[in-house]
A = this chain, B = another copy of it.
Amino acid sequence: MTGRRNPGERRRRMIEAACELIPEVGVNGLTHRLVAARAGVPLGATTYYFASLDDLVAAALARAAEVTEEGLGLWSEELERCADVPATLAALTADYLRERDRMVTWNELYAAAAHRPELRPLARLWLDGLTRSLSGYAGARAARAAAVFVDGALLYSLINDEPLDTESLERSLAALLGMDAA
């Protein structure tokens, strides 16, 4: 059923292969041949299913954004039923920062979006979504500030062997989310 003749599956495999490759070689390191080899499809398939390499890259980044949005839904649920929002958010962030491939992929998306404006809405999904999730527990400014801090922590984890510890995250997020009260 998932054999040769299966357009949807093939397309999905190539996007998945591209997603795997982005953390390894970067967005600009992607090539048709690399994706084809990883996906186990002939070179021609990559041009048959994607009008250009940019399209393939965009599809892969869109898929990565989709995965991130799913994760965001889980965060929302977790935050909703927890007692201590800053502590829970800190714990979620700490776990997240350990998934290095996701961090690298997301930063690649940021870098790509900096050069290609059409990718910016995609890049904004995470920060805007997190801000919206946090809006239930703090003012608009505080929610956005906390989201910005989480993104800063992402960047930090990229270039430091040890990401920020959970306690630092918790204290910082508590300070930011509570800043309207002060």
Contacts of A108 in B (CB 8 A): 111
Q: Residue of B at shortest CB range from A175?
A: B179
Q: Given A111-B108, A155-B152, A156-B151, verify A171-B141 contact (CB < 8 Å).
A: yes
Contacts of A120 in B (CB 8 A): 159-160
Q: Given A152-B153, A175-B175, A176-B172, verify A159-B114 contact (CB < 8 Å).
A: yes
Contacts of A176 in B (CB 8 A): 149, 172, 175-176
Contacts of A145 in B (CB 8 A): 149, 168, 171-172, 175
Minimum CB–CB distance for A18 against chain B, Å:
16
A110 at the interface (CB under 8 A from B): yes
Question: Given A113-B159, A114-B158, A148-B172, 17 more contacts at CB 8 Å?
Answer: A26-B115, A28-B29, A104-B114, A104-B115, A107-B111, A110-B158, A145-B171, A148-B155, A149-B149, A149-B152, A149-B172, A149-B176, A152-B153, A155-B155, A171-B179, A172-B176, A175-B182
